[in-house]
Structure 1
Amino acid sequence: MTNITRRNAVKLLGTGAFATLADPLSLLSDSSPKKKHYLTLSFDDGFKESSLQTASIFEKHNLPACINVIATAHEPGFVLPNEYHQWPVGDFALWNELQKRGHEVMMHGYSHKNKRDLPFEESRKLILQCIDYFAKHLDGFEAKKSVFNFPHNASTPELEEWLPTQVMAFRTGGPAINKLPHKGQSFLTCTTHGPDNIEDHLDQEIENLLKQQSGWLIYNTHGLDDEGWGPMRAEYLDALLGRLTKIKTVEIIPAGKALAAVQ
């Protein structure tokens, strides 16, 4: 992209409060040629309190958060996948509000089932149901501009081959550091840690990233303070973003926005 105007960048990254918080052009890879270290903190499960706190902390640092939610987790009768999902979750009124504020809201499954434990056709059906649910409830949702974040970071070769026909990209388990965002990139891998506090592990992964000449670290986290599997403290997140935004080579950006900027 060589002819991006400020107006086009705002349109690309979304309207809302975030457009007043930071210069959208700063998020585009070709407008920041010296930034060689990309970081995506990928927050899963959609816990209500954690999501609100996460959004607020990212806004404090003029950044959009990357929040991935289970389509039906807010519905009555939703069966909790495990004890790490016992906290209240947000609904699509909240997800639409956060999206309008400039944050990224993406798919984390229809019901959080582990796709490695299911036949291909059942997994495929659940993913299509998730896409359909988001299309009906998330304002402006387009599947081909979305990232599907596998529950449990568990995919299969069959699903990995099929999914690019449905979405822009998907995130699964694998190496922590990806190649820098580039056109046609659909396969994203991430690392995570838990069930206890992730801060030391995340610090080490960031240190590993900064030792490299370039790379894109995608780190899967969940809730803040005591919520979710492998939480971090809200005060830690605030301090981390404050430290990293001072490093000129670092770009903190949601996965979907990073990819959309290079298509």
Structure 2
Amino acid sequence: MTGCNSMSSGYCSLDEENDDFTFFTAKTSFFRRPQGKQGPKNAVKEEEEKPKSLSEQDVRIKIEEYNSKVSENGMKLSPDGTYTGFIKVHLKLRRPVTVPAEVRSPGGGAGLGPEALEKKTSFYLPNDAVKQLHISSNTTVSEVIQGLLKKFMVLDNPRKFALYRQTHRDGQDLFQKLPVSEHPLYLRLVTGPDPEHLTFVLKENETGEVEWHAFSVPELQNFLTILEKEEHERMKQVKQRYVAYREKLLQALQEAQGKPG
């Protein structure tokens, strides 16, 4: 598996902060959302569709159709009946990921030395970053996830992540969690290159239960740090709203007292 299109690294959640900082919260990230409630128009829904298998002749025809719709990065059929091509994976991760700490190599350049295996840090990957991968028809969802984590040197357990197929229909985004044994390039081929019909998205594996043993101690400590920061920000917002509301009330009282009764 080979990768294209580099992506800038995320920022360290413990060292930097900006106005667009997205906090990790137990409410939104740890626990399953209530079932049976319909959300707004663009709410996420589960879509259950599985394409049928294709014969070798069907595969050849599909590849020709697919390549006629793209100007670059088409699919190539091999003599053994397999084929290769590109898929784009959108990373929509709400939680920080664990990566090795960057150290200086003995030659003076930036690199990862043996000490990086012990030094770790947590980062938020850029929101909705896109990674393009060159894979074969035999590449599974599990291999795609492992390949993505390896490219970004993410040390987290691959079981924490899942690959979803996203489609857009009637103004709604529909998501389906893909089995680890599914073949993404096959889905890309039978669906076509239009991202409206299929987009691959890497998200946290929402199992409905928190597998605390899967998190390292630094990760858990980082979660607590972020939750404390979120609590501080929420308190600050409440105080600011209280002050603004109090000033409006005082102003209204003064105006009312100045008017004849």
Max Rg structure: 2
| TM-score interval for Structure 1 and Structure 2 normalised by the shorter chain | under 0.3
Q: TM-score, normalised by structure 1?
A: 0.25
The structure where strand makes up a greater share of residues is 2
Higher helix share: 1
What TM-score do the two structures reach when normalised by structure 2? 0.26
